[in-house]
Structure 1
Amino acid sequence: MNSWLRTIFGLEEGETPAGGETFWEFSSMPQGFWLAASAILLLGSLAFICALYFRERQLGIFQRSVLALLRLGCLVLVVLILLNPRLLTEIRIDRPGKTVLLLDDSASMQEKDKLDEESFRVIARATDLDPGRQPTRSEIIVAAVEKKLAVADEEEKSSLLELLGRNNELAFFTFGSELKEVGPFVNGQAPATAQGETRIGDALVEVVKEFERDPLAGIIVLSDGRNNSGASPIRALDAISLGRRVPIFTVGVGIAKQPMNFVVQELSIPSLIEVDYPLEIDAKVLLSGIQRTVKVQLHRSRQDGRDRKLVDARNLTPKNKMLEERLRFTDRLAEKGKYRYTLSIERDQREIEWRDNLQSAEVTAASELRRVLLMAGHATNEYRFLRNLAIRDDGIQVSCWLSSADTEYPQDGDILITELPQTSEELREYDVVLMLDPQPSTVTPALQDALVDFVTEQGGGLAFVAGEINTHALARAERFRKLRALLPVELASARAPLSGRIFDKGWLPTLTARGRSYPLCRLSNEPVENLALWQRLPPFYFWYQASRLRPGGLSLLQKESDIIAATHRLGFAEVFYLGTDDFWRWRAGEVGIHERFWAAIIRQLSLGKQQAGTRRATIETDRDRYNKEEDVRVNVRLVDSRRRPVESAAVEIFIESGKKPQAEVQPQRPGESAASAGEKIRKRLTLAPVPGSPGRYSGIFRTAEAGHYQVSLGEEARSFFEIVDIYAELEDLSPDFRSLEQVAESSAGRFFTVSPELRELGDPGLIPDASISEVLARRASTVWDSAMMMLLFTGMLVLEWILRKLWRLN
């Protein structure tokens, strides 16, 4: 800045940093109505001054103009002072967008596929390689991204890498068992290493962490898709999407080979069912590589393995050595209790893996009515429709409490209440508490203490629905921290109430990887139809911001990085969070969806009290089956004889391999002895207390050894899980394009194969420029209070006074 300008504005040397961008800011500029009113007042003042001075007939036009200009100048200076002008200087840095290429360099990528005639022609067109010499998968995919392509309106051809590099900087990594940064792929040179594992999910998470401070335009995965260790790619997307939305584009390579294996891929059963009510059991099996008729059997037993009975059996015959079949079984449970269903496929000695021929799931049969307390702050649409549903349902006894109702107004429900329960004994009558944007005045310290006991000690279910009116206050005030500690998410503290805001843009929630398989989110039994149904349901408008999960929480629905639905378990109890009260809008779409959704939530939450019983120690894992080297989270809950939480610095448990529930004991493989299964593992695991949850302890177990495991705490509490080694790297060389498609679809990316259409990946609109300009430093300098500005203002007033005296004006 020039020295004379610094003098006028009263700025010191160095007050405006060199190399910065300088611009003006009027910090007191009025907005809206006041801006229009101020502008009218200013224009009126200017007109008045001009009219006043041009009425002085004894002066000439020049003299009148000079006096008017001096007075107008004073007025303009006063207005500028009132607007509080500041000189802002910003130092910015441009951060280029990054496009990351992840090349799979596991052993399977060194496979030389035998190509049929059609595949031969497609690969030749996409890579310019001679497939006759049988290039490896890695060589094919590197050649595909390096092939020179004709570009519209350009004379010279450009490779796909060159096109991608026009919008964003490129970063190159390889992955297998570990992630490595490498140089650009040049001259068709593919990495010659052959790592023994493929960890696609881990590689995605590590790359996002690596570039957490950089604008990521997209990730391109070049792989055959065969993930055989670490976190699954779909589950990895949940961890990524909570922090940022990164589109992932996948490019698949390889020719499918059918592994010789039978797999029970899915077994889905509701957690709770009424006695003598039809129980629908959905399953999915995969028969691959072996052409023969196979028997699939469904058995039912008590949880401890007693009373094992055959429910149904089916004979399946693959066509061309391949069959992927969805099965549905129906059963009725005549007595209350806990049951285990086991679906098994008969074994074949040619299979490469036997441990995935079986899968189990548990269900609890109950006949009691579910007692529900429904409390709401205001009579919203969600409250009205949910109240009517609960009253109509013969399996639910509901008591309603509407805080905004008049004191003389009788509350609704099957069992009427005249006051809101405030103690744990009063809440003991209920199985589930539903809180719909509750009024802060009703969430008293006594009620919060009672809810903590209801959930953590009694096993009662809790659902909290965020709303526009009251959730803002519940999220901010310290006195509601006990209620917030029960929720699976951390509510954002809004600076201002939401009740005055207008939410006029519709949006659809996105199912997370966990959400797609979670029973409450399964609006249709067919996975493809379920995803399509979620995409065509009526849109929501309101949502409350919550982007952080508590430990052990599962995100089921999201809007970008905000969590819309989440759940977690506190001992036997389940707590459900909904970040919007717009679910009633579903009534305008598919018939019965809204009713089925809420009925399923109530049934699921009511399971906790029936499971709690009188046991003093409970132990559980978050899932029944894991891939090797996946984190197995073990949770323990301890109470004394009076059901009070037992607090300790740590709890030790034992994990033993080779043990499974009695209902799952299988005959040994022909020629396999008990000792051949490998050395038994017995490990001690120390669990740490869960902050904010007395009597609860949690820890992580991880192993690379596949098999069945038992986790136990003395003789009273035990649980079982299985570690599955999907396939060794070279046991199954067939590509898994379906997994790559799911990763691309779930992240708003796109799936490609090595074909001429791969050139569309270089379209600048597909991965746009993600570069950003960040402000490193900003300095504001006030300019109206300088000595020169004051001198200018007083100088104009004095000059006008002198001229008026010289020209003999009053």
Structure 2
Amino acid sequence: MMGKLIHLLWGGGTGPGRSATSVHFSLGISHPWLAVLGLVAITVVGIWSYRAQSVVPKLRWIMGALRGLVLLLVLLMFCRPMLVVSQTLRTRSVVAVWVDTSASMSLRDRYPVGSPMHVMVQQVEMHGATHVPTSPGPAVRQAGDFVRRPSRFALARWSLTGSAGHWLQRLVQRQEVAIFTGGSSPTLVGTAHNAKELAGLMDRLAHKQPVHRSTDVPGIVAGIFQQLQGRPIGGIILLTDGRSTPGGAIAPVQALARDHASPIFGVAIGRRHQPFNVQLQQVQAPRHAFVQDPVAIRAAVRLSGATQPLTVRLHLYRQNANGSRGAVLASKSVLLSPSQAVTPVQLVFHPNEPGHYQFMLGITPVPGQLTRRGDVASGISTDVVQAKIKVLYVDGYPRWEYRYLKNDLLREKTVQLSCLLLSADNAFAQEGNLPINRFPDTQKEMDRYDVLLLGDVDPDYFSAKQQDLILHFVARHGGGFGMIAGPYYAPNAYRSTPLAQLLPIVPDDASNPALQPPPNQPFELHLTDAGRNSTVFQFFSSEKANLKQVANLPPLYWYQPVLGLQASATMLADLPSRTINGRPMPLLVLGRYGAGRTMFSAIADTWRWRYYHDSPLYKSYWLEMVRLLDRSRAFGQASSMSMTVPSRHVEAGLPVTVSLQVRDPILQSQMPPQVRLNLVNAAGAIMEPVMLSRVDSGGGKYEGTVTLWRSGDYQLAAPAGELPKSVPAIHLTAALPNREFANPTADPQGLTRLVAGTGGKLLPLPQASQLAHLVPDRSVETLLTQSRQMWNKPIALLLVVLLLTVEWILRKRSGLV
């Protein structure tokens, strides 16, 4: 009845969300008691006015009452009566529940038998809630994906929907529940106002997968506050392993929680102790190789959570065009030690034909490991070419090194050789399958060759023009240059010649030597890290066998001491027993000069390897050395200007170093101090300029960095007119990082730091039921009061008219009018 009256007076209902309504009248005067006295007086006057009327007493009282009511209504109009409606509006608070869907939530932990988590795992297994895929990828499915042990994500879902999920049902009875998922930013699944809507949200949650590549727990909390701004938040519940990769700052998020008076509750999922797992990391392959080259695929195997040594089996496959696993190229067993977290491994194969090789490296699955995501690595490739290398070998006299090296290169089918022995008389027929009787006099003749090897040759043999030809051959045309030391000329006699620029070492002064000659005592070759990784010493597929073979090589007896290395040199072998400037004496050194590669060998008796051992070792050493010097030409890296990046497949969000190398001195003089490149996305839009700065004063090397923040395909190119010569653009592919498995342990300490100071609490998953009474109800009750004046309403006039009409009718029937 009251609702109908309010509807009549207000033109509407009480509205949704109002829990209680009260109605009363009020007078718009400051002294209501005067109005009461006036009402009584007027009523008495109205009745008294009919005391002398000659009518039936009953009618006299009725007409007096009617007149009193009329006078009463008139007086009420002057008192401005109002109808006051008071309504209480209740706004329900929201409880935000975030279920972590980052990839680490796909891990399947083992828990101690009898522990509360183990009991929960058994309950989940009994109810068949374990079928949450570890990964949607084909490589993981091949390794065997569906296991009985539930994932962290399955346990989180079970705590919301299973027999342990009654706490969420109780929360939705008095507050709204908003379900979020995501890894670095929250995604709203929906908001439930009752149990039926909550069941619908749980059905939608069942179709989510833990696939996000990163986790930012503080960022999730900040995002939830932003999405729910303007609404009272009872609390934020985080169902996660707590491991951010990496995450944002905690302090601003805690300040947000305090400002909103909304506590944060953490529900820790996963084990804090390092779980047992085997994972492939840092897989690398050379970008280019020759047919029959030893192609080394290097990787690292990470072992965690093991208590005893473990032997794993690795397989290198050729990946098919459709991404499936092809033929086995190499296999290897590796012994992993619990005391060594990361074990470097190397698998070597020798390609028999040219082409583009896509590889897939895999580990045979190990029973009991945490996840099999790291068992397979793909996306690595090598371009294999087949080419005949043209070598010009010049030596001063027929020493043993010349004889053995010349014979082995002549027998190699992939090498075409021209030999020039300077001590021979004019009638001597120079050896080689590319006959020659003099050193080239023109650049065209010089450029017929790919590699120039100089032995113990008097530098005065070369004219100034020929020395210039050699410099241009290496610097501009990408030719390879190697020098084999000798007791007479190489390398010290070249110290003051233009050809000294080609040497990766600093030669001694031939006229006034600062170094003592080497003693005639046997010594062994010591490989540096670069030497062990170089193809020059890849005699066998096994790295262990290679090192053993190097150790068993016949001893050497002579070397040419030098003063040191050039800044950009790479030392492959040294002699630790003799030092120069505190460093071991260099024996085998590589370098770069312009577009070409250079080499210096301080030893000249590698022929002993051939004399005392089988031919293949000696032949492999020098064949790989020649191929190494030819790489710039053979692989198209001999242009006068080139732009490079360490890898064309990069991780989004990480800086990538971009290098521009200008090898032509003429072009170097035309270069600006800075070079601008454009970063263009797949749609053709210029994203941002990339600036490269000169890194060597007066040189031709420029470097800069670019960061690709989003995944996708990009292109780096110099705008028209920026460079004196066009440079091919670089195509880059950025992929989102997947750091979820770098540390698979849960991080309850991080959650503890986050909830501290917000009024919340960290709970283990089996105790999540406590949230039903821990999460406060921050619903807001608002009192709304509305008043409407009654004296100016049509109903008031109607009442006065009605009363007067009734009185007039009664007076007329009584004969008073």
- What range describes the TM-score normalised by the shorter chain of this pair? 0.3 to 0.5
- TM superposition score normalised by structure 1: 0.45
The higher-RCO structure (CA 8 Å, 6+ apart) is 1
**Taking structure 2 as the reference length, what is the TM-score of the superposition?**
0.45
Larger radius of gyration: 2
